[in-house]
Amino acid sequence: MKVLILKNSLRTLVWAIYAALAFGLLWGIVALVRMNGPIFFIQAIIDGLRLGFMYALIALGYTMVYGIVRLINFAHGDVFMVGAFTSFYAITRYNWSFVPAILLAMLICTVLNVVIERVAYKPLRNAPRIASLITAIGVSFFLEYFTALSFVFGPDFITYRRPFPVEVWNVGGILITNITVIIVGITLALLLSLQYIIRRTKIGKAMRATALDKSAARLMGINVDGVISFTFALGAALAGAGGVLYAIAFPQILTFMGIMPGLKAFVAAVLGGIGSIPGAFVGSLLMGTTDVLVVSFMPMGSRLRDLIAFLILILVFLIKPTGIFGEPQAEKV
């Protein structure tokens, strides 16, 4: 009885927090629009969604890998960085154009992530989960510091040369660049392909089956190790493309550039419900928009943006650990 009352009042509290957040958000938006005019606000939303699309390309890899091996692959943000650098060398050194460069980045990242899985995670698959988590953090540091060596990518910021000239269009006061169009276009195309692979192809169905029950999948004759490799490969291809697009949008690259976007994408995946693909997408759009809104409108916003992101993470863990789309899942043995 007591437990029930406690549960009910907790639920009321949670709803009160939701209501307060919704109200605060609404009030904030109204205030912002009145202060700065709607154009400025719409511009921020567009830039935010654009950033969110790039986060989504990372977050999907986190969520798919988690769905199948229950591992947060913390090296995922660094795979994204390798994507950016690969395209940098292809474009600057070898004068490749945009499409081959992004395809090469996706390929290299795919190979890298599959190797990481084989070498670092597969041997620990039956070990306690904390072991693979710590290993993931180790792999992440390794990639960041190894590539920072002067004979690899080097320790400094490098200016990224865009593979095409920037064009800006003024649509009723809102500025839209061809970069935004390309980011949104490529991300949508990749998301649709991903959706097709997961829903319609044999390997995609095997991925979903394996995520649900590995022993049952084995009994069907599904090569579970192969499916796991494939999942890491898919996630890495998306992250690689994301790295290229991110470098084009923010043309300064560094071997540590994957850390923050990686963490933001992780927050986005948790916010959407870790393991859920639509969740990763929606969570990323929310995360990107929040990022830009904070920077554009909050006093000291550029210093607060990361703080706010982790505040969101903590709030999600406190209020609804399963996120927006996550099902309340019983821990599987």
Partner 1 sequence: MPLLQVEDLHVAYGAIRAIQGISFHIEAGEIVTLIGANGAGKSTTLRTVSGLLRPMQGDVLYQGRSITRTSPERIVKMGISQVPEGRLIFSSLTVLENLEMGAYTRKDKNEIRDTMKQVFTSFPRLEERRTQLGGTLSGGEQQMLAMGRGLMSRPRLLLLDEPSMGLAPILVDEIFEIIKTINAQGTSILLVEQNAAMALSVADRAYVLETGRTVLEGDAKELLHNPEVREAYLG
Q: How far is the CB of 320 from partner 1 (least distance, A)?
A: 20
- Residues linked to residue 174 through DSSP beta bridges, in sequence order: 171
Of residues 137-166, which lie at the interface with partner 1 (CB under 8 A)? none
Q: Which is nearer to partner 1, 90 or 222 (CB)?
A: 222
C-alpha span between 49 and 166 (Å, rounded): 19
The percent of the chain in helix, strand and coil, each rounded to the nearest 5, is 75, 5, 20
Q: Which stretch binds partner 1 (CB under 8 A): 142-150, 163-171, 203-211, 252-260?
A: 203-211
> Residues for the chain: how many in total?
333
Burial class (CB in 10 A: 0-12, 13-18, 19+), 186: buried
Of residues 259-278, which lie at the interface with partner 1 (CB under 8 A)? none
Q: How far is the CB of 58 from partner 1 (least distance, A)?
A: 24
Q: How far is the CB of 124 from partner 1 (least distance, A)?
A: 17
Q: How far is CA 200 from the centre of its chain?
A: 23
Q: How far is the CB of 197 from partner 1 (least distance, A)?
A: 14
The amino acid that residue 309 corresponds to is A
Q: Which is nearer to partner 1, 130 or 219 (CB)?
A: 219
Q: How far is the CB of 84 from partner 1 (least distance, A)?
A: 35
Q: What is the 3-state secondary structure (H, E, C) of 140-199?
A: HHHHHHHHCCCCCCCCCCEECCCCCCCCEEEECCEEEEHHHHHHHHHHHHHHHHHHHHHH
Q: How far is the CB of 226 from partner 1 (least distance, A)?
A: 9
**x/- contact string, 207-246, with partner 1 (CB under 8 A)?**
-xx--xx-xxxxxxxxx-----------------------
Q: How far is the CB of 269 from partner 1 (least distance, A)?
A: 19
- Residues linked to residue 169 through DSSP beta bridges, in sequence order: 176
- Residues linked to residue 249 through DSSP beta bridges, in sequence order: none
Of residues 163-202, which lie at the interface with partner 1 (CB under 8 A)? 202
Angle at which helix 224-249 crosses helix 202-212, to 10 degrees, equals 110
Q: Which is nearer to partner 1, 214 or 305 (CB)?
A: 214
Closest CA to 203 of 237, 226, 233, 236: 226
Q: Which is nearer to partner 1, 127 or 220 (CB)?
A: 220
Among 206, 253, 270, 309, binds partner 1 (CB under 8 A): 206
CA of 295: how far to CAs of 209, 217, 251, in Å?
Answer: 42, 46, 19
Contact 232, 116 (CB under 8 A): yes
Q: Which is nearer to partner 1, 203 or 263 (CB)?
A: 203
Angle at the Cα of 71 from the Cα atoms of 66 and 74, rounded to 5 degrees: 100
Q: Which is nearer to partner 1, 195 or 223 (CB)?
A: 223
Total number of residues that touch partner 1 (CB under 8 A):
16
Q: How far is the CB of 224 from partner 1 (least distance, A)?
A: 9
Q: Which is nearer to partner 1, 76 or 214 (CB)?
A: 214
Coil, strand or helix at 135: helix
Q: How far is the CB of 283 from partner 1 (least distance, A)?
A: 20
Q: Which is nearer to partner 1, 42 or 122 (CB)?
A: 122
Among 70, 125, 205, 320, binds partner 1 (CB under 8 A): 205
Q: Which is nearer to partner 1, 217 or 295 (CB)?
A: 217
Residues of the shown chain interacting with partner 1 in the complex, contacts defined by CB under 8 A: 202, 205-206, 208-209, 212-213, 215-223
